[in-house]
């Protein structure tokens, strides 16, 4: 079984013979914890995701209250990106790196959110609520079967994401040459608003890939240690979703 999610791809590969035998022997048995079986469970992913977001929020709150400079945003995002690359392409999961990633993202998001709140009072609470609402809506749709990570769905989302980042990069480059000057990073033009809406939609639909790969990992009996990678992948998408919601709200405020 191959993973359609680039972040989780290393974790959820083809199950070994021992894993298959273990699944067959416990097919009709009551659900067991990861402590008894050594396999990843949904509870493992939930617990570790909650722990990682606690780290992010604590560091983010410190960055917010410390009123750090804009250099902290750069340090946080660059540090987080570097760790994300190492974690994504490493065959062995290293929990300290995942925890460090959460801390770097907390540094960046806490500082960035402070600046946004200063310019647009109340926007952070709106962004948090919007992110939670989008997450809950996708989760409910996935659990009910209305959304499924079919091969066609996966190809469309991956392809659209690549196109989105290419267009976003072009828009970013042109902004340095005065295009949309005075209207923010992406401007309040039709392109800026379209990119923001597309970003929120893509980040939301990427959650479907996350949920699907986590469920596949559990069904395949991957080792419990891989729950760290699953939690990391989920965090990457949620952080992306929050940033897109925040950007969309700021563009809508600028257009008033």
Q: How confident is the model over 24-70, as pLDDT tens digits?
A: 343 343 444 555 568 899 999 999 999 999 999 999 999 999 988 88
pTM of the model: 0.79
What pLDDT score does 167 carry? 78
Query: How high does pLDDT run on average in the chain?
Result: 81
β partners of residue 39: 223
- Contacts for 76 with CB less than 8 Å, ≥ 6 apart: 63, 104, 105, 106, 107, 108, 109, 111
- The Cα–Cα gap between 146 and 62 comes to 40
β partners of residue 223: 39
Q: What is the mean pLDDT of residues 87-106?
A: 93
Smallest CA-to-CA distance from 109 within 135, 72, 156, 164 is with 72
What pLDDT digit, counting tens, does each position of 171-192 carry?
666 655 544 444 444 444 566 7
pLDDT at residue 153 is higher than 80: yes
Q: What is the mean pLDDT of residues 78-106?
A: 93
What pLDDT score does 115 carry? 92
What pLDDT score does 183 carry? 46
196, 244 contact by CB (below 8 A): yes
What pLDDT score does 174 carry? 61
The three state secondary structure string of the chain is CCCCCCCCCCCCCCCCHHHHHHHHHCCCCCCCCHHHHCECCHHHHHHHHHHHHHHHHHHHHHHHHHCCCCHHHHHHHHHHHHHHHHHHHCCCCCHHHHHHHHHHHHHHHHHHHHHHHHHCCCHHHHHHHHHHHHHHHHHHHHHHCCCCCCHHHHHHHHHHHHHHHHHHHHHHHHHCCCCCCCCCCCCCCHHHHHHHHHHHHHHHHHHHHHHHHHHHHHHHCCEHHHHHHHHHHHHHHHHHHHHHHHHHHHHHHHCC
Query: What is the residue whose two structure tokens read 């780290």?
Result: 55
Tokens of 102: 């959460």
Four-point Cα dihedral 72, 75, 79, 82, nearest 10: 140
Q: Kindly give the interhelix angle for 123-144 and 190-220, rounded to the nearest 10 degrees.
A: 50
The three state secondary structure string of 8-68 is CCCCCCCCCHHHHHHHHHCCCCCCCCHHHHCECCHHHHHHHHHHHHHHHHHHHHHHHHHCC
Q: Please report, for residues 27, 33, 243, the alpha-carbon distance to residue 65 in angstroms, rounded to integers and kept in the order given.
A: 51, 40, 20
């Amino acid at each position: 079984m191959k993973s359609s999610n680039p972040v989780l791809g290393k974790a959820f590969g083809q199950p070994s013979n021992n894993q298959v035998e273990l699944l067959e022997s416990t097919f009709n048995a009551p659900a067991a914890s990861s402590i008894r079986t050594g396999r990843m469970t949904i509870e493992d992913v939930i617990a570790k995701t909650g722990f990682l977001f606690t780290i992010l929020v604590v560091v983010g709150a410190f960055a917010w209250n410390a009123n750090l400079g804009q250099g902290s945003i750069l340090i946080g995002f660059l540090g987080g990106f570097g760790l994300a690359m190492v974690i994504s392409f490493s065959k062995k999961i290293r929990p300290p790196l995942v925890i460090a990633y959460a801390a770097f993202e907390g540094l960046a998001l806490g500082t960035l959110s402070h600046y946004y709140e200063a310019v647009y009072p109340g926007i952070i609470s709106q962004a948090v609520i919007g992110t939670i609402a989008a997450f809950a809506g996708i989760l409910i749709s996935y659990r009910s079967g209305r959304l499924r990570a079919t091969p066609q769905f996966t190809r469309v989302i991956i392809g659209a994401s690549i196109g989105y980042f290419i267009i976003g990069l072009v828009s970013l480059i042109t902004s340095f040459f005065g295009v949309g000057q005075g209207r923010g990073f992406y401007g309040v033009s039709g392109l800026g608003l379209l990119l923001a809406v597309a970003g929120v939609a893509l980040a939301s639909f990427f959650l479907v890939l996350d949920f699907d790969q986590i469920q596949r990992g559990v069904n395949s009996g991957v080792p419990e240690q891989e729950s760290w990678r699953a939690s990391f992948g989920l965090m990457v998408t949620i952080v992306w979703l929050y940033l897109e919601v925040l950007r969309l709200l700021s563009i809508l405020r600028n257009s008033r």
